[in-house]
């Protein structure tokens, strides 16, 4: 409560007519974070490229150029061709779709699960909390990449949907813990007690009153989660367990670069996908940093 | 002054310490006495009758020998003495006599005798023994097609003296085939070490992790798991003590072979299929002043197999359409950079039994489409192309094949998996089309792959005429008449197409220029007549 009071006092003098909310303040603070804004812009550009891949790519991502295998960049192939004569630029553009899809869908999936579980555990407490927390502990104690490798191979045919499903089903415990912590703190605050005294239902208290106040850290965690999902997808595809060929993904494009000669003399085979992974993960992390700073209730103007 | 003396002492200590590090185990080979060979994967044991793969047999053959060593030269099989000094076939091509070298001894000093050979044959043919040598002895009288003993039948093996014995086959056979398989591929076990071990416990016997009693030109010293196998010269080797004192077989993944060569930490790769140079690195290897690149016109091939238990793949026009659709010239010219050959059959172009009159189906997409129409192919059906991981070139071939098949209207989805999973899918009929490779002996008998119910019949096909020809080929002993039969077999193969043979890749291997006397055997491996190896100074 003291937080809210101080916020209104600080802004009072500046713009008395306009109502100042937590979110508008956060937006202001976010926009002042240059790296975060550039991160957001880069991600928007990548998302735009992914959406418009069909129009942007100069060639089909799977078409083979019979006279250019591992060819250096040229007018017809601005970023050269890969080991079976496919245009690297076109593959790079189409691969953005995979990364964005995996990042967004997997994270969306575990945000929903994690929030639901965390909210339930934190709100009800007691035995419910005990059971759910122990499940989270168990899930968190598994080595994640091994579980993912196992799950992807057990689900049968490896595919982008399997990767999403596995990441979504395994990613939630860390997030659920975060939400549970928030709910434990919020549960005994006066406005929640007031809502309860009003006779509001549990669902209404959780969804209307508590969730909006617990959302900020979830947003931050989701952003970092997205960067992680993109990395895991790249790793799985590199190992041949993620996106199946001939569908391009930045990870499986890197499988071409396993020999010294390619690393030293054919940089067009590995620099572009490597750079895209780097730049997208970096921008999302900057974005996350910015969000965390903007949404941190302890950081004042 | 005092400070200087301390420094001097420190330097001397360092120099002495450096001299005491054993040569070869780390860093570059230090002298003409040490040779380092590199292969891609580690073996799981050193059993001369049951090691898991070519990796294991590569090491085994330094330590254990058979009667002869075999090599193909100018389309002619050449045999060199190993344990045997003489080998001869009777006029009826059914009895084979061998004489063991009088000075052939085990590494513990005991003589190698005909009893050891008998023990080896008895062990391999025991139904309780785990072994992959069964096919090599299966022609011997009294054994099943899998090389196992039948209860009431007399085994065709007779000891003539301490150093001589005779083998009798069920029916007359081609001596060339018999000598290659029994003489070249059966490595002899020490009876005085293993004679009392029950056959069913042999596979787990500690001897096969530490085979200190061998009979070959090199003795086993140690195996550092996943790092290297150390071998030392057998001074008493009966064909002359090797000039190289110590051999290290190091486990080097394909991607780091080049770096090892550049640092001069490697004298030779192991050979075809188990220790080669990646295609991207080949030009770099050719530029290196201190090594000699060696191309092997290889006995092996890569192929695409059809699952005959799928009704929609039963029509041979569909299979031929795919042969027309796949751009094999592109694969060989671009992917293999020309270092390979195309042939429509499982008998290699470099083999004396190859039928040059059978031409591969041309790359012809129009013809492919027409054949599919004719056969009533359902263009909405999606088929699964299974591709095993590991062999990078083969994985890339999968991408090209998919594009080619899509281009003629066949919908294809690629499914990649690790090799054991892939093999299980193939044997379990759980696929439509799949990629895999094969390298076999020089003898043209391919019954295990193409006969109904054969152990390696991955397509699960059953073609009566093919069975007939294959049986005839094994039954005949006259090479000229066998050639006629196998010519017919290859014609039938191209017509029926149980496989589309994609390419015969050349082996890309390498030998340091300081080495001489190195040759490869019929499998394209460099552990051939290793006692002739000579290594010059670095």
pLDDT band at A219 (very low <50, low <70, confident <90, very high): confident
* Best mutation target, A240, A248, A255, A267, to test chain B (most B CBs within 10 A): A240
* Residues 142-161, chain A, touching B (beta carbon < 8 A): 153, 157-158
* Best mutation target, A64, A82, A252, to test chain B (most B CBs within 10 A): A64
- pLDDT at position A125, please? 86
Tell me the β-bridge partners of B501. B303
- Mean pLDDT over B338-359 rounds to 90
- Check whether A87 has a pLDDT greater than 70: yes
- Check whether B29 has a pLDDT greater than 80: no
- Check whether B7 has a pLDDT greater than 70: no
Whether B475 contacts B266, CB under 8 Å: no
As a whole number of angstroms, the distance between CA A37 and CA A23 comes to 16
pLDDT in tens, B140-158: 999 988 889 988 889 999 9
pLDDT in tens, A32-61: 889 999 999 999 999 999 999 999 999 999
∠ CA(A231), CA(A233), CA(A236), 5° rounding?
Answer: 110
Tell me the β-bridge partners of B269. B38
Its pTM surpasses 0.80: no
- Check whether A7 has a pLDDT greater than 80: no
DSSP state of B216: S
- Mean pLDDT over B189-208 rounds to 94
- pLDDT at position B48, please? 95
pLDDT in tens, B212-231: 999 999 999 999 988 999 99
Say if A78 is an interface residue toward chain B (CB within 8 Å). no
- Mean pLDDT over A211-221 rounds to 86
- pLDDT at position B19, please? 47
DSSP secondary structure string, A106-147?
HHHHHHHHHHHHHHHHHHH-HHHHHHHHHHHHHHHHS-HHHH
- pLDDT at position B305, please? 96
Indicate yes or no: CB of B330 within 8 angstroms of CB of A64: yes
In angstroms, the Cα distances linking A301 to A30, A291, A297, B222 are 12, 15, 10, 70
In angstroms, the Cα distances linking B146 to A118, B132, B153, B171, B202 are 62, 10, 15, 16, 19
Whether B143 contacts B127, CB under 8 Å: no
Minimal-distance CA residue of chain B relative to A62: B403
As a whole number of angstroms, the distance between CA A260 and CA B281 comes to 7
pLDDT band at A264 (very low <50, low <70, confident <90, very high): confident
Whether B490 contacts B465, CB under 8 Å: no
- pLDDT at position A6, please? 46
- Respond yes or no on whether the N-terminal peptide bond of residue A246 is cis (omega within 30° of 0): yes
pLDDT band at B393 (very low <50, low <70, confident <90, very high): confident
Q: What percent of chain B has pLDDT over 90?
A: 65
* Residue B311 CB neighbours (<10 A): 7
Domains belonging to chain B, first-starting first, are: 15-63+216-290+513-535 (3.40.190.10), 68-194 (3.90.76.10), 300-506 (3.10.105.10)
* Candidates A66, A259, A266; nearest CB to B278: A259
- Check whether B22 has a pLDDT greater than 60: no
Per the prediction, chain B carries an average pLDDT of 89
- Mean pLDDT over B489-501 rounds to 95
**Residue B2: burial class (beta carbons within 10 Å; 0-12, 13-18, 19+):** exposed
Whether B521 contacts B275, CB under 8 Å: no
Element (H, E) at B386: strand B382-388
- Cite the DSSP H helix spans in B97-244: 114-125, 134-137, 175-178, 184-185, 191-194
Sign of the torsion formed by the C-alpha atoms of B99, B104, B110 and B116 = negative
* Candidates B258, B389, B414; nearest CB to A246: B414
Instruction: Tally the C-alpha atoms within 13 A of residue A51's C-alpha that lie toward its C-beta.
Output: 6
User: By three-state DSSP, how is residue A153 classified?
Assistant: helix
pLDDT band at B23 (very low <50, low <70, confident <90, very high): very low
Long-range Cβ contact pairs of B112-115 (< 8 A, separation 24 or more): B112/B83, B112/B188, B112/B215, B113/B162, B113/B163, B113/B191, B114/B159, B114/B160, B114/B161, B114/B162, B114/B163, B114/B164, B114/B165, B115/B159, B115/B162, B115/B191
pLDDT band at B392 (very low <50, low <70, confident <90, very high): confident
Kindly report the nearest CA distance between residue B25 and chain A, in angstroms: 24
Judging contacts by C-beta atoms under 8 Å, the chain B residues touching residue A258 are 255, 392
Kindly report the nearest CA distance between residue B328 and chain A, in angstroms: 11
* Residue B74 CB neighbours (<10 A): 6
Choice between A138 and A156, residue whose per-residue pLDDT is larger: A138
Kindly report the nearest CA distance between residue B396 and chain A, in angstroms: 6
pLDDT band at B534 (very low <50, low <70, confident <90, very high): very high
- Check whether B2 has a pLDDT greater than 80: no
Q: Which residues of A80-92 are buried (b: 16+ CB within 10 A; e: fewer)?
A: bbbbbbbbbbbbb
Minimal-distance CA residue of chain B relative to A240: B416
- Check whether B4 has a pLDDT greater than 90: no
pLDDT band at A280 (very low <50, low <70, confident <90, very high): very high
- Check whether B28 has a pLDDT greater than 50: no
In angstroms, the Cα distances linking B31 to B222, B224, B303, B532 are 20, 22, 43, 17
* Candidates A62, A63, A261; nearest CB to B280: A261
- Mean pLDDT over B195-210 rounds to 93
pLDDT band at B538 (very low <50, low <70, confident <90, very high): confident
- pLDDT at position B422, please? 87
pLDDT in tens, B222-268: 999 889 999 999 999 999 999 999 999 999 988 889 989 988 889 99
Contacts of A50 (CB under 8 A, 6+ apart): A93, A96, A97, A99, A100, A101
């Amino acid at each position: 409560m003291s937080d809210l009071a101080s916020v209104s006092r600080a802004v009072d003098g500046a713009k008395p007519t306009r109502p100042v909310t937590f979110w508008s303040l956060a937006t202001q603070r976010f926009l002042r974070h240059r790296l975060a804004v550039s991160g957001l812009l880069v991600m928007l550009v990548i998302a735009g490229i992914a959406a418009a891949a069909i129009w942007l790519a100069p060639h089909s991502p799977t078409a083979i150029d019979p006279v250019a295998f591992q060819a250096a960049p040229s007018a017809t192939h601005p970023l050269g061709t890969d080991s079976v004569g496919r245009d690297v630029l076109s593959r790079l553009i189409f691969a953005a779709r995979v990364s964005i899809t995996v990042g967004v869908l997997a994270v969306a999936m575990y945000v929903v699960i994690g929030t639901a579980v965390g909210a339930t555990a934190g709100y009800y407490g007691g035995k419910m909390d005990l059971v759910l927390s122990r499940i989270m502990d168990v899930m968190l104690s598994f080595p994640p990449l091994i579980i993912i490798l196992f799950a992807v191979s057990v689900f049968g045919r490896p595919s982008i949907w399997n990767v999403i499903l596995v990441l979504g089903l395994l990613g939630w415990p860390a997030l659920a813990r975060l939400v549970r912590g928030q709910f434990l703190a919020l549960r005994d605050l006066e406005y929640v007690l007031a809502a309860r005294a009003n006779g509001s239902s549990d669902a209404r208290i959780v969804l209307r009153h508590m969730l909006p106040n617990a959302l900020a850290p979830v947003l931050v965690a989701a952003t970092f989660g997205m960067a992680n999902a993109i990395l895991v997808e790249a790793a799985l595809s590199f190992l041949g367990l993620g996106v199946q060929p001939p569908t391009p993904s930045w990870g499986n494009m890197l499988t071409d670069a396993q020999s010294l000669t390619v690393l030293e003399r054919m940089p067009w085979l590995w620099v572009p996908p490597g750079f895209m992974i780097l730049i997208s993960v970096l921008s999302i992390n900057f974005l996350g940093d910015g969000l965390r700073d903007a949404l941190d209730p302890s950081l004042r103007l | 002054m005092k400070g200087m003396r301390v420094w001097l002492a420190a330097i001397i200590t360092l120099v002495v310490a450096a001299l005491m590090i054993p040569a070869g185990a780390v860093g570059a080979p230090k002298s003409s006495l040490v040779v380092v060979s590199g292969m891609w994967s580690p073996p799981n044991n050193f059993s001369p009758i049951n090691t898991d793969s070519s990796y294991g047999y590569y090491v085994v053959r330094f330590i254990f020998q058979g009667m002869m060593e075999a090599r193909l030269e100018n389309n002619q099989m050449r045999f060199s003495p190993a344990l045997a000094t003489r080998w001869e076939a009777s006029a009826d091509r059914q009895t084979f006599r061998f004489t063991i070298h009088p000075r052939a001894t085990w590494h513990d000093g005991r003589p190698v005798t005909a009893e050891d050979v008998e023990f080896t044959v008895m062990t391999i043919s025991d139904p309780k023994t785990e072994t992959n040598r069964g096919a090599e002895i299966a022609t011997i009288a009294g054994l099943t097609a899998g090389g196992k003993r039948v209860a009431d039948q007399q085994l065709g093996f007779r000891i003539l003296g301490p150093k001589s014995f005779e083998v009798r086959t069920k029916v007359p056979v081609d001596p060339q085939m018999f000598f290659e398989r029994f003489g070249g591929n059966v490595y002899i076990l020490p009876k005085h070490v293993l004679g009392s071990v029950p056959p069913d416990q042999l596979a787990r016997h500690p001897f096969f992790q530490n085979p200190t009693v061998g009979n070959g030109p090199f003795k086993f010293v140690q195996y550092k798991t996943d790092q290297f196998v150390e071998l030392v010269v057998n001074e008493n080797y009966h064909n002359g003590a090797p000039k190289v004192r110590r051999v290290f077989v190091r486990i080097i993944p394909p991607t780091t072979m080049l770096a090892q060569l550049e640092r001069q930490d490697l004298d030779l790769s192991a050979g075809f299929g188990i220790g080669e140079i990646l295609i991207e690195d080949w030009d770099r290897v050719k530029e290196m002043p201190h090594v000699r690149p060696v191309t092997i016109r290889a006995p092996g091939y890569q192929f695409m197999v059809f699952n005959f238990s799928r009704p929609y793949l039963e029509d041979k026009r569909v299979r031929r359409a795919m042969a027309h659709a796949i751009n094999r010239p592109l694969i060989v010219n671009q992917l293999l950079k020309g270092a390979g050959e195309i042939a429509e059959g499982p008998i290699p172009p470099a083999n004396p039994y190859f039928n040059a009159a059978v031409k591969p189906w041309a790359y012809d997409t129009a013809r492919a489409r027409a054949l599919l129409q004719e056969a009533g192919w359902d263009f909405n059906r999606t088929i699964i192309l299974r591709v095993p991981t590991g062999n990078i070139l083969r994985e890339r071939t999968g991408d090209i094949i998919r594009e080619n098949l899509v281009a003629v209207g066949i919908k294809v989805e690629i499914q990649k998996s690790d090799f054991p999973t892939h093999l299980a899918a193939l044997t379990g009929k759980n696929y439509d089309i799949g990629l895999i490779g094969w390298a076999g002996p020089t003898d043209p008998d391919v019954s295990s792959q193409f006969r109904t119910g054969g152990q390696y019949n991955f397509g699960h096909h059953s073609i009566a005429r093919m069975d007939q020809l294959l049986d005839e080929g094994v039954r005949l002993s006259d090479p000229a008449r066998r050639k006629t039969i196998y010519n017919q077999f290859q014609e039938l193969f191209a017509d029926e197409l149980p496989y589309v043979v994609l390419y015969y890749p050349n082996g890309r291997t390498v030998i340091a220029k300081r080495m001489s006397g190195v040759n490869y055997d019929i499998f394209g491996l460099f552990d051939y007549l290793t006692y002739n190896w000579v290594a010059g100074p670095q």
